[in-house]
Chain A
Amino acid sequence: MSIKDQVIAIIAEQAMLEPQDVTLESTPEDLGIDSMGLVESIFAIEEAFDISIPFNANDPGASDFDISSVATIIAGIERLKAEQG
């Protein structure tokens, strides 16, 4: 499974939706994911990709990991995986 498909599967599970209902443009709010749901999604992504995401729930905008949409989350993971080598 590609990074994109894996991320969509994780987010869909968290939002209790089918993967086809999650688009690249979807935001966490669009999908009904609240702040705790977001923290849980980040945990699931870290576990799935063996990465550490710089994310602080107190100030989600402060980190350079952009969680504003599914597409930016995927891009952030791809960058972290690339940095890992």
Chain B
Amino acid sequence: MKRVVITGAGTINALGHNVPDTLAAMREGVCGIGPLSFRDVERLQIQIGGQVRGFDAEGRYNRQQISLYDRFTLFTLAAAREAIEQSGLTFSGELSARAGVVLGTAGGGVSTWDDNYRAVYEEGKNRVHPFVVPKLMNNAAASHVSMEWNLKGPSFTVSTACASSNHAMAQAFAMVRSGMSPAMITGGSESMLCFGGVKAWEGLRVMSRDACRPFSANRNGMVQGEGAGIFVFEEMEHARKRGAEILCEVIGFAMTSDASDIVMPSKAGAARAIAGALEDGRINRDEVGYINAHGTGTAANDKTECAAVADTFGPHADNLMISSTKSMHGHLIGGTGAVELLACIMALRDGVIAPTIGYEEPDPECALDVVPNTAREAKVSVALSNAFAFGGMNAVLALRKV
């Protein structure tokens, strides 16, 4: 089995248009959530979100490219450029033939669906742009990354709702670890912040109208975000030989299915995923210093997740830190695990634990150290990143400081 390291990271989200700005915002406990701005927002009951602002597609791409790229693809390409440029890899010959791209998204081109349904249903038009299908398909972002960077190995898109990018990164990790590929581009993206995207979530009645306050007793729901997180997963020797900067090592993962309910999370399913990642990475429980929680800010998730962590870690649960950065960037749905992996990298590499902001009242059902409101300096050698999706599909990744 090969060892796998991360040699590049890129992002765009409500906290920043790149990794340094995003990590700086996480350290400062900045809230990227604010009033939503798009067509018909006044008809929504939920009018807040972690929207990406000031993103200029015209300055980055030509007209023909823009006609082909949904917003989730634009975000993905921006984050992929940052990650791949940081890694210093160029894909040609054998490396190009074996390197691929595995990304997560829950909805794909949601605003393309939305715009074109509006055109044909509301406006009564009988003709849509020829590129509607290649723009909205869930694999569009992965395909454009493969084309821009000459990635000709195994490439596909994973869609498991809120765990999509953790499942994608787990898959990419398994592919590099097995020796199938020397390097994989992985992560995920989402852009559901349009009228139809938010209206659909409104229907579930799990959305907060004012703030995302994970683990706080007065939490009242989740807040959507948008953006992308993309990473270069590379075989360790391959990275060392070329003198690449290593951000951290990926050491384990596990995936489980609750097989119980389409929306309610299960403590057992979450606990099995966490314990499975520890076993896969041969990690002692007391080595884990930080967990980036799924931490959606809903009543159901947060207490279930805390109970799963308490069950899995026993007494050590009181020594580790667990925070939810969704309080700052919102819930990026299929892209969320990717952006949240950045908080794990910051914990391991920089020794800074991102806080759970908006924390106001302790909840006895979430009685863990949730790093309330203020970032903390701490030495961490192993970090976990949790993602627990609707449909009961869970994926947990484990990272180690290098």
Interface residues of A (CB under 8 A from B): 13-14, 16, 36-37, 39-40, 42-43, 46-47, 52
Can you show 20 pairs from A to B with CB atoms below 8 A apart? A13-B63, A14-B64, A16-B62, A16-B63, A16-B64, A36-B130, A36-B131, A37-B64, A39-B130, A40-B67, A40-B129, A40-B130, A40-B131, A42-B130, A43-B127, A43-B129, A43-B130, A46-B127, A47-B127, A52-B127
Q: Please give the distance in Å from A84's CB to the nearest CB on chain B.
A: 15
State A43–B127 Cα separation when bound (angstroms): 8
Residues of A within 8 A of B129 (CB): 40, 43
Q: In the complex, what residue of chain A is closest to B67 when comparing beta carbons?
A: A40
Give the docked Cα–Cα distance between A31 and B130 (Å).
Answer: 20
**B residues less than 8 Å from A43 (CB atoms):** 127, 129-130
Minimum CB–CB distance from A50 to chain B (whole Å) comes to: 10
Contact mask for chain B residues 128-166; partner A; CB cutoff 8 A; 1 contact, 0 none: 011100000000000000000000000000000000000
Q: Which residue of A lies closest to B62 (CB)?
A: A16
Q: Which of B275-301 contact A (CB under 8 A)?
A: none
**Interface residues of chain A: helix, strand, loop or mixed (majority):** helix
A47 partner residues in chain B, CB cutoff 8 A: 127
CB closest chain-A residue, reference B126: A52
- Number of CB contacts from chain A to chain B under 8 A: 20
Q: Across the interface, which residues of A come within 8 angstroms of B130, CB to CB?
A: 36, 39-40, 42-43
Least CB distance, B123 to chain A, in whole angstroms: 13
Interface residues of chain B: helix, strand, loop or mixed (majority): loop
Query: Chain B, interface size: which category?
Result: under 10
Chain B residues positioned under 8 Å from A36 (CB to CB): 130-131
8 nearest A-B residue pairs (beta carbon): A39-B130, A43-B130, A40-B130, A43-B129, A46-B127, A40-B67, A40-B131, A43-B127
**Nearest Cβ in chain B — how far from A28, in angstroms?**
15
Hey, what's the 0/1 contact readout for B55-67 against A, CB within 8 Å counting as 1?
Answer: 0000000111001
Q: Smallest distance from the beta carbon of B42 to chain A beta carbons, Å? A: 29
Q: Note all chain B residues with C-beta closer than 8 A to A14.
A: 64
CA distance in complex: A28, B64 (Å): 16
Which residue on A lies nearest to B127, using beta carbons?
A46
Instruction: Please indicate the chain B residues that have their CB under 8 angstroms from the CB of A16 in the complex.
Output: 62-64
B127 to chain A, nearest CB (A): 6
Residue of B nearest to A15 (CB): B64
Q: How far is the CB of B285 from chain A (nearest CB, A)?
A: 54
Interface positions of B from 53 to 94, Cβ below 8 Å from A: 62-64, 67
Q: List the B side residues contacting A46 at CB < 8 Å.
A: 127
A40-B130, A46-B127 given. 16 additional CB < 8 A pairs? A13-B63, A14-B64, A16-B63, A16-B64, A36-B130, A36-B131, A37-B64, A39-B130, A40-B67, A40-B129, A40-B131, A42-B130, A43-B127, A43-B129, A47-B127, A52-B127
**Whole-angstrom distance between the Cβ of B163 and the nearest chain A Cβ:** 34
Please measure, in the bound complex, the distance between the C-alpha atom of A36 and the C-alpha atom of B132, giving whole angstroms. Answer: 12
Bound together, the chains give a CA A37 to CA B130 distance in angstroms of 10
- Minimal Cβ-Cβ distance residue in A for B68: A36
Give the distance in Å from the alpha carbon of A14 to the alpha carbon of B131 in the complex.
14
Complex: A36 Cα to B133 Cα, angstroms? 12
Minimum distance in angstroms from B267 CB to a CB of chain A: 50
Q: How far is the CB of A33 from chain B (nearest CB, A)?
A: 10
Residues from chain B with a CB closer than 8 A to the CB of A42 are 130
A19 CB to nearest B CB, Å? 15
The complex places the Cα of A13 from the Cα of B67 at a distance, in Å, of 13
CA A39 to CA B129, docked complex, whole Å? 9
A39: B residues at CB distance < 8 A: 130
B73 shortest CB reach to chain A, Å: 16
- B62 neighbours in A (Cβ, 8 Å): 16
Residues of B within 8 A of A37 (CB): 64
